[in-house]
Amino acid sequence: MGSFCGAPPAHDGLWDSAKGMAHDASVRLAIVPMELEARGLDVTLETVERFKQQGDDLAAKALGRIYRDEINHVFLEQNGSNLSGGDMVSHHMTIGISL
């Protein structure tokens, strides 16, 4: 097929995001839970169901665990202003994240 794992541009998304945020740890702390992990929540349950339909209960169980962990990560970031005493909404707005 003339390709290899990681060749399609979709595989570079996470790495490209990490490189683009290398200058500021607070940007990474905002982007990862609020954008990347939240995107994963959008598709994970459907993926779990597909694994179940194929009889791969172990993969479905593992993804279910990851899904629950990601919910916690996103929740903690959304509520970070309560935990840190800071104004996370204003901070996110200054770095270009809409909540």
Number of Cβ within 10 Å of residue 48's Cβ equals 19
Structural element, H or E, at residue 54: none
How many residues make up the chain in this entry? 99
Alpha-carbon distances of 68 from 6, 33, 65, rounded to whole Å: 27, 13, 5
User: Residue 51 and residue 36: Cα distance in Å, rounded?
Assistant: 22
pLDDT tens series, the chain, 99 aa: 677 776 666 656 667 777 777 787 777 776 766 777 777 888 889 999 999 999 999 999 999 998 888 888 777 777 664 555 555 555 555 555 444
Q: What are phi and psi of 5, to 5 degrees?
A: -60, 125
User: Residue 87 and residue 70: Cα distance in Å, rounded?
Assistant: 22
